[in-house]
Structure 1
Amino acid sequence: MSILTSLARLRALKEGVAQPIATVRHCHLSARPMVFIPLKLSGEAAAPLAAMLGTDPAAPRLLVVPQPRNRDLRFAFAAELAGVLLPYVEGFLERTETVEKKNADPYERVLDAPQLLVPNRAGVAFTGLLGRSTRFRRSEGPYPVPAEVPLLGRWLTYFGERAAYPGSSLMMAASEELARHWASGQSGLEDANLAALLGWIAPPEGRTGAQAAEDAEDPLLWPPAGPVTDPGFDAEVLAPAIEEGSTERITEALRTQLEPTWRLMWQAVGLLGALPEGPSATARWEFDRGSFSAMAQQIAEGSPPQARRDGAVGAASRLARMERAQAAYDVQRAYDDPLVMAEYRLSGEAFAGEVVETDPDNVEGEGRSRKLRPLVHIKTDDPVRLPPGTALGTPGRRSQGAQLVSAGDGLVILKITKGMGRGRTPAPGTVPEPGERVCYTSLTDDFQGSPTLPERERTPWTHGGPPQDYVPNDDDAREEWE
C-alpha cells in the first residue's frame, strides 16, 4: 500500500466516507456491459449453481442448476448461458474497421467489443474454471453436450485470461476497479466485499461508511457476491430445497441471494461511469478490440481450443508481454492522473514546480554533431532523488524527452532532448515558459524491447524440447476434481 493511499484510508476512517485516489477513470467502461454474477456449489471446484446476468439493470436473467451434481443439468445450464452470452459477444463482430500500420499487413478490427463485469476477483477465477470445464467438451461421441457449450468455454477462457492482462477492460472485477479509484477506511482484504466497499464509497443517508460496511457483514441483508454462497443459506435453505427437488423453491431462494448483488453491480457501474475516462484508457481499449478481433478470427478459422498450459516459449512470451503491459499501465496511470503521479513525487521519482528560467537556444556539440538542447530551470519543493543523466518525461508534453542535468537546493536543471521539432530553434510551445507549472518524472514508456526467444520448434531440451502439436482428444475434458 502506498503512502498516499494509506493516508487516504486514515482520512476515510476519520470522515466516515471513502476518499478518491484518482481523478479520472483508469479503465474503459462500455455503454452496454454484460453484468455476470456466477454462483457455484460449495465444496465443488467448478460446479455452477446459478448465474444472474444481463445488460439491462431492469431485466436480469436468472439461470439455475436445480441439482448441480447432475452432469446433464450442469451442461444444460451451460447451454442456456451460451444462449445469453454468445449473441452478446458475437453481436460486436458485425461492425469492423480496417487498420493499416507501417510495415505491417492491414487487418480488420471491431469498432467496439464486449465487456464482462463480475463482482470480484473470485468471480473472474470461477469464470476461467467454467471455461476450462466446457471448452474441451464435444457435441458428439460419448457424453455429448450441446454444440454451443464448447464455444462458450473458449470465450469464457479468453475473458478470464484477459482479466489478468494489466490495463485490459474486457473483463473486470467491480470491487477491484472501485478500490483502484477510492480508498475506504477498511483493509484491502475487506474491500473484496462489494457491499462493504460500496458502503464506504456511497453510504446511505444518516450512516457512516463504517456502519454501512458493518451492515454488509450480515448475509441476511447482503448475501455474499459469489461465487461462494453463505454457509447458513446452504444449510438452512438451499440443501433442503435441493433435497425436496423443488425447482421453483430453489430458483426463488437463489434469486434472493443474487438480486442484492445485481443492484450493487449497477451502482458500481454508475459510480465508475461518473468519472471522466483517462486518455490512456481509450488507447488501451483499442488493444482490447484488436485482441478480441484476433480471438474471433481464430475461432472462425477452426483453430483448436486453448491448450491447458503454455509451452516453455509460449509461457516466456506471455510473461514478457504482461510485464511490459504492467510497466506501461503504471506509466499511463501516472501521466493521466495527478493523484497517481503524487505517489511518485513522494518517492522522489517525479517532481513538480515552477519554471523560473529557460535557455531555448542552448546547443551541444559542433559542426554536424551540433544538437539543440534547450535548458529549463525549475524551482521545486519536492524531494528529487534522481541522479544526473536520468531520462525524464512529462505529462504536459507527452512526446517530449528530457534529461536531468542537476538537482539541489530546490532547483532542478534539465535539458530537453526530443520533441522540439527539427528546426534550428524549438517549435512554438515545446519549451516551457517561465512561470509555467510543470511536472517531470523518470517514469517513461521507453522500455526495453521484448527478449529474443527461440522458435517454438527450437525449444531447448532444458525446457522440455520442442512441444508436440496439440491434437484434441477425449482426455482433454477430464479434470482432477471430477
Structure 2
Amino acid sequence: MSLIATLARLEAVETGRAQPLATVRHRRLSDRPLVLVPLTTAGEAGAPLGALVGTDPAAPRLLVVPQPRDRDLRSAFLSDLAEVVLPHLESYADDVEPAERSETDPETGKRVKVETELCADAPQLIVPSRAGVEYVRLLGRSMRFRRTAEQDPDTPYPAPARVPLLGRWFTHYAERSRVPGSSLLLAATDLLNRHWATGQSSLEDQHLGALLAWVDVPEGASGAGAALRAELARDGEGQLLCPPAGPATDPAFDNRLLAPAMERFDRARRLLAAAEDGTSADDRLGELHRAEREIRRLIASQLKPTWDAVWRAVELLRELPEGARAADRWTRDRWSFTGHRDKVRAGEPPQPRRDDAVTAAQKLAARETAQAQLDAQEALDDPLVLASHRLRGEAFTAEVLDVEMAWSESKRPTPRPLVTVATDDRPQLGGRMKVYRSLDGRPQTAEFVRAEAEGVLVLRLTDRMGRSKEPAEGSVPVKGDRIDWTLFEHDQRGGPKLPDPDETPWTHGGPPRSDTAETPDTVTPEDLL
C-alpha cells in the first residue's frame, strides 16, 4: 500500500467518509453492461441457487433453482442463463470495423501487417465481488466440457444445447479478468476500491454494502456506522437487512427460511407424484406452484439489495471522467473478444483443463507486461497516482529553467539538447539513468547528466525530435514548461521468445523423445509373478 493510500485511509477514519484515490476512472464502463448477481448453495461450491441478470436496472431477470440437488433443475437454470447471456454476447459479434494486426510470416519469420476485422465494441460483464468472478470461472469450467444430445446421443444426462458454449465464454471472461487493466469482467468491489479508500480493512472492503456505505454515506451518518449496519443489522425475523449475496447465503436465511421452504417444495413434489386421480393431482400441483413461488420470493429478497448496490456503484463511477489511456486497454479487450469469437466460429475445441508449459509462460509474461503498462498509464493519466510515484522517488515534476542546443558527435549529427530543470521532488537518479516524459501520447527519453545544485538537474533529450539536424517543432521543451518525468518506461517490452509446445521436453508437456525411451527391465528368476 502506498503512502498516499495509507494517508487516505486515515483521513477516511477521521472524516467518516471514503477518500478519493484517483481523479479519473481507470476502467472502461460500457454503456450497456450485463450485471450478474449469482447466489450459490451453502456447502457446495459452484452449485447454483439463483441469479439476477440483465442490462436494465429496473427489469432484472430472476433465475431460481428450487431444489439444487435436482440435476434437471440445475440444467434448466444453466439453460435459462445461457438464453439470457449468449444473445447479449452475440449482439456485439457482427458489428466490426477494419483493422490491422501484426503476425509472424511462417516462411520468413518476420512480423508483417495483415488486414483483419475488429469488433467495434465488446460486451462487459459486472459481478458484485471477487467471489462472483471466481463463481463465473467455476461455472465456465463445469459447463464447457458438457456433452449435448446432438454431440453424443449416448451421453448420460446430456446438457442443454447452448450450455457448453456459455461455459466457453465464461471461461474466456474469467481468464481475461486476470489480465491487469482488463474491463471485460469486473467486480464492483474492485472498481470502488481502486478509486476510493475507506476506513475499514481490505477484507471488509469485499462486502459491497459496507463498501458503498463509506463511498455513498447516507445523510447524517458516518461511514463506519453505516458500514456496521450494512454488515450486521437484522430485521425482526433475524434476517440481514443487507444480504451479502457473496455469492454464498447467510446461515440464518438458510436455516430459518430457505430450508423449510425447500422441504415444503420437496413434499409437494412427492405428493404430486403419488396422486391417484386428476382432482388430487390438480390440488397438489397448486401446492407445488405455491411452494416454488415462495422459494423464488425468498431468493429474490436476497438478490435484489445486491443488484441495486451494483448499479449504484456503476452510477458513482460514471461520475468520474474516464482516463485518457483506458480506451487503449479497452481496444485490447476488444481484440480478445474478437479472437475468441473467431475460435468459436471456427469450431475449435474448448479451452483445455490445464495449460501446457509454453502457454502458461506466455500468459504469465503477458500479465506481467500488462501490469507494468497499467501502472505507467494510470500514473500518466492521474496526478494523484503520479504523486505516489513521486513520493517513492520513481517520478518527479520539474520546471524548465534553460535549454541548450547540442548535437551528437557523428557523421550525421542529430539533436541532443541539454535541458536544465528545477524540482522539489527527490528522484532516485544516478549514473546515466534514463527518464521519460509523454510527448503527444508517446514516450520521449532523456538521459540524466548531472545535478548542478539542490533540486537542479541537467537532462539530455535523446529521441522523438525527428531525423533532421534541427529538432522538430514542439519536440524540445521551452523555458517555463512544467513537465512530469518518470523513471519507469511508459511502454513495456514483450517477454522472452518461447519455444513451440512441440519443442518442449516431455517434463514440460512436450512429446517424449523416441530415441531416449526407456526399455523395460529383463525378467529374472527372482521376479515374483
Q: How far does the alpha carbon of each residue in 1:177-226 deviate from its partner, in whole angstroms, 9 at most, with x for none?
A: 11001111111111111111111111011111111111111262210132
**Alpha carbons of structure 1 residues 366 and 100: separation in structure 2 relative to 1, 3 Å:** closer
* Cα shift readout 1:103-122 (whole Å, capped 9, x = no counterpart): 22211111111000001101
- Kept after mapping to 1: 8 A contact 2:101/2:116: no
Paired residues of 2:465 and 2:476 also in contact (CA < 8 A): yes
Say whether residues 1:230 and 2:250 are aligned partners. yes
Kindly provide the CA deviation profile for residues 49-96 of structure 1, in whole angstroms up to 9, marking residues without a partner as x.
110011001101110000111111111100000010000000001210
The runs of at least 4 consecutive aligned structure 1 residues that moved more than 6 Å come to none
Aligned pairs (5 A) from 1:316-465: 316-359=361-404, 361-368=405-412, 370-395=413-438, 397-399=440-442, 400-407=444-451, 409-465=454-510
Q: How far has the Cα of 1:322 moved from its partner?
A: 1.0
Helix, strand or coil for the counterpart of 1:241? helix
Contact 1:174–1:194 (Cα < 8 Å) also in 2: yes
Conservation of the 8 A alpha-carbon contact between 1:33 and 1:117: yes
Match for residue 339 of structure 2? 294
Contact 2:373–2:491 (CA under 8 A) maintained in structure 1:
no
Bigger drift between 387-396 and 435-444 goes to 387-396
Stretch deviating more after TM superposition (386-395 or 196-205): 386-395
Quick one: distance in 2 between partners of 1:190 and 1:319?
29
SS in 1 for 2:176: helix
Task: Give the greater-gyration-radius structure (CA).
Answer: 2
Q: Which runs of 5+ in 1 are unaligned?
A: 468-482
Distance across 1 between alignment mates of 2:493 and 2:224: 45
Alignment correspondent of 2:117: 108
The match for 2:97 is 97
For 2:262, the equivalent position in structure 1 comes to 242
Q: Which amino acid aligns with 2:305?
A: P
CA deviation vs aligned residue, 1:319-340 (integer Å, no higher than 9, x gap): 1111111111111111111111
Residues 402, 414 of structure 1: 8 Å contact kept: yes
Q: In 2, Cα distance between the equivalents of 1:381 and 1:45?
A: 54
In structure 1, the partner of 2:6 is 6
How does 1:268-283 map onto structure 2 within 5 Å? 268-283=313-328
TM-score (norm 2): 0.86
Give the alignment of 1:126-145 within 5 angstroms: 126-140=135-149, 141-145=155-159
Once the 2 structures are TM-superposed, how far is the Cα of residue 10 of structure 1 from its aligned partner? 0.6
Aligned-pair CA distance for 1:311: 0.6
Note the alpha carbon deviations across 1:141-168, whole angstroms, 9 max, x for none: 2211110011111111111111111111
**Letter aligned with residue 392 of structure 1:** V
Would you say the 8 A contact 2:25–2:320 is kept in 1?
Answer: yes
SS of the equivalent of 1:100 reads strand
CA distance, structure 1, for counterparts of residue 339 and residue 87 of structure 2: 18
Percent identical residues: 52
Q: Look up the match of 1:474.
A: none
Do the aligned partners of 2:450 and 2:458 also contact (CA within 8 Å) in 1? Answer: yes
Residue 206 of structure 1, aligned match among 210, 220, 227: 220
Report the AA paired with residue 97 of structure 2.
E
- Give yes or no for the alignment of 1:124 onto 2:133: yes
**SS of residue in 1 equivalent to 2:53:** strand
Greater mean deviation of Cα atoms: 432-441 or 32-41: 432-441
Q: 1:349–1:386: 8 Å Cα contact kept in structure 2?
A: no
Relative to structure 1, the CA distance from residue 172 to residue 8 in structure 2 (aligned partners, 3 Å threshold; closer, same or farther) is same
Residue 35 of structure 1 corresponds to: 35
Match of 2:92, SS state, is helix
- Distance in 2 (alpha carbons) for counterparts of 1:367 and 1:108: 45
Given candidates 168, 186, 198, the residue that maps to 1:154 is: 168
Q: 1:309 corresponds to which residue? A: 354
Q: What is the RMSD of the two structures over their aligned residues, measured on CA atoms? A: 1.5
CA contact (8 A) 1:396 1:439 kept: no
| Shift in Å, 1:451 | 1.1
CA contact (8 A) 1:194 1:225 kept: no
Matches within 5 A, 1:161-172: 161-172=175-186
Q: In the alignment, residue 275 of structure 1 is paired with which amino acid?
A: L
Query: Take 2:439 and 2:23, find their aligned partners in 1: how far apart are those partners?
Result: 16
Counterpart in the other structure of 1:191: 205
Which residues of structure 2 form unaligned runs of 5+? 103-111, 150-154, 235-239, 266-290, 513-529
Tell me, what secondary structure is at the counterpart of 1:45? coil
Counterpart-to-counterpart distance in 2, 1:395 and 1:209: 39
In structure 2, C-alpha distance between the alignment counterparts of 1:294 and 1:33, rounded to whole Å = 20
Q: Distance between the aligned counterparts of 2:258 and 2:479, measured in 1? A: 70
Q: Which deviates further from its counterpart, 126-135 or 94-103?
A: 94-103
Corresponding residue for 2:231? 217
Could you say which residue in structure 2 is the equivalent of 1:81?
A: 81
SS for the counterpart of 1:393 is strand
Alignment-mate amino acid for residue 91 of structure 1: S
Deviation at 1:133, TM superposition (A): 0.7
Report how far residue 448 of structure 1 moved.
Answer: 3.7
Distance across 2 between alignment mates of 1:23 and 1:388: 34
- The answer to whether the 8 A contact 1:404-1:415 is kept is yes
Q: What code does the residue aligned with 1:195 have? A: G
CA–CA separation in structure 2 for the residues paired with 1:448 and 1:150: 37
| Letter of the 1:205 counterpart | E
Matching residue's letter, 2:86: L
The answer as to 2:194 corresponding to 1:180 is yes
CA distance in 1, matches of 2:315, 2:438: 28
Partner letter of residue 422 of structure 2?
K
Higher deviation after alignment, 416-425 or 65-74: 416-425
Q: 1:9 to 1:48 in 2, by over 3 A?
A: same
- Mapped contact 2:501–2:509 kept (Cα < 8 A): no
Equivalent residue letter for 2:187: A
Alpha-carbon spacing, 1:328–1:192, altered in 2? closer, same or farther (3 Å): same
Task: Read off the aligned partner of 1:63 and give its amino acid letter.
Answer: L
Moved more, 22-31 or 447-456: 447-456
- The CA deviation string for residues 398-428 of structure 1, in whole angstroms up to 9 with x for no partner, is 4222122223511121111111222222222
Partner of residue 252, structure 1 = 297
